[in-house]
């Protein structure tokens, strides 16, 4: 796999996109929320995907694309295969090979209570009926209403209260950080939700708040990031507009490399500025 022996969710996305161009990080997180894959977590909360996790995801995506199977059916098939493999293992026989892809048994994790984020994530599987696919109404009865699924939230979305609990910020500080653009939320069915990425931003902002820095003083950081991303977007636009999966992979690799160079440049410039401030 790589020197770490496991992959991050970004690594898995890059690996699968050559075969499944439409896969996204949100899609992988949603499949996890539905119990179709169970990556381990690092002490800091990041996902750790191993080879069996990647093969399991590949199997699920293949069944969706080729056979149009609902997730419940795919999950039942995976569970049946794991049960059969366990049964043969107990009898001392060779495990039965899975036809579509090698799928390892889920690593057991402690059962947790269903959170608001879990319920919201389940909305992603709601069927979407487009106008072209809807059956023509009969003339003797009114046309049926077309059900449109709401936008799918991240599977690990947090409410403002959950974000406050994890970061030590109070709700007023979170609201102020959102007002000045430091934090960015998503409204789903009237509920304010924050992605997992916002937790790290809120944690860093909390450290400033502890020194008496107000959220309005942090706007410069958001402005700097937005300008940097504008630059990357302009440079990568020719690649991102192509349908070729290889072009998108090259764009992802280039953006990540430039972002790393940007971090190093900011650290070097900040170090020099601090030295000047302190007269060193």
What is the predicted pLDDT for the residue at 253? 86
- Spatial contact of 203 and 165, defined as CB atoms under 8 Å apart: no
Would you tell me how many other CB atoms lie within 10 Å of the CB of residue 147? 10
Among 122, 204, 118, smallest CA distance to 162 is for: 118
Would you tell me how many other CB atoms lie within 10 Å of the CB of residue 106? 16
Would you tell me how many other CB atoms lie within 10 Å of the CB of residue 116? 16
What is the predicted pLDDT for the residue at 226? 87
What's the pLDDT tens digit per position in 55-111?
999 999 999 999 888 888 999 888 887 666 666 555 555 444 443 444 444 344 444
Rounded-to-integer distance, Cα 158 and Cα 188, Å: 11
User: Across the chain, which distance is largest between two alpha carbons, in Å?
Assistant: 86
In order of their start, the domains of the chain are 1-111 (1.10.1660.10)
Among 37, 26, 24, smallest CA distance to 82 is for: 37
Strands 47-48 and 191-194: unpaired
Reported pTM: 0.43
Would you tell me how many other CB atoms lie within 10 Å of the CB of residue 189? 11
Strands 186-188 and 191-194: antiparallel
Mean pLDDT by 10 residues, the chain (280 residues): 75 92 90 92 88 94 90 88 63 46 41 44 42 50 51 63 87 90 82 83 88 87 88 86 83 86 88 88
- Residues β-bridged to residue 193: 159, 186
What is the predicted pLDDT for the residue at 123? 46
Rounded-to-integer distance, Cα 95 and Cα 80, Å: 13
- Spatial contact of 224 and 263, defined as CB atoms under 8 Å apart: no
Query: In degrees, to the nearest 5, what angle opens at C-alpha 268 toward C-alphas 267 and 271?
Result: 80
- Residues β-bridged to residue 41: 47
Burial of 7 (0-12, 13-18, 19+ CB in 10 A): buried
Rounded-to-integer distance, Cα 19 and Cα 213, Å: 47
**What is the C-alpha end-to-end distance of the chain, expressed in Å?**
46
Q: Sign of dihedral through CA atoms 98, 100, 106, 111?
A: negative
What is the predicted pLDDT for the residue at 15? 92
List C-alpha distances in Å: 87 to 27, 83, 84, 142: 32, 6, 5, 54
Rounded-to-integer distance, Cα 232 and Cα 252, Å: 10
What is the predicted pLDDT for the residue at 14? 92
């Amino acid at each position: 796999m790589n020197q770490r022996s496991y992959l991050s969710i970004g690594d898995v996305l890059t690996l699968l996109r050559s075969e499944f161009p439409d896969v996204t990080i949100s899609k992988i997180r949603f499949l996890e929320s539905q119990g179709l894959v169970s990556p381990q977590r690092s002490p800091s909360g990041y996902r750790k995907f191993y080879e069996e996790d990647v093969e399991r995801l590949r199997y699920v995506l293949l069944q969706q694309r080729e056979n149009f199977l609902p997730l419940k059916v795919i999950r039942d098939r995976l569970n049946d295969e794991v049960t059969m493999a366990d049964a043969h293992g107990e009898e001392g026989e060779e495990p039965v090979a899975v036809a579509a892809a090698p799928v390892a048994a889920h690593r057991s994790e402690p059962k947790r209570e269903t959170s608001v984020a879990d319920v919201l994530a389940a909305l992603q599987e709601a069927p979407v009926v487009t106008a072209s696919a809807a059956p023509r109404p009969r003339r003797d009865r009114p046309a049926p209403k077309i059900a449109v699924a709401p936008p799918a939230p991240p599977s690990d979305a947090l409410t403002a209260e959950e974000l406050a609990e994890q970061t030590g910020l109070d709700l007023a500080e979170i609201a102020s950080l959102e007002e000045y653009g430091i934090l960015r939320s998503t409204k789903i069915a009237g509920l304010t939700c924050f992605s997992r990425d916002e937790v790290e931003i809120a944690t860093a902002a909390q450290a400033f708040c502890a020194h008496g820095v107000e959220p309005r003083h942090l706007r410069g950081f958001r402005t700097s990031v937005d300008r940097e991303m504008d630059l990357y977007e302009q440079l990568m636009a020719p690649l991102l507009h192509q349908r070729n999966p290889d072009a998108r992979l090259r764009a992802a690799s280039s953006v990540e490399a430039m972002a790393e160079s940007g971090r190093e440049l900011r650290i070097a410039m900040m170090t020099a500025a601090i030295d000047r401030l302190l007269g060193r």
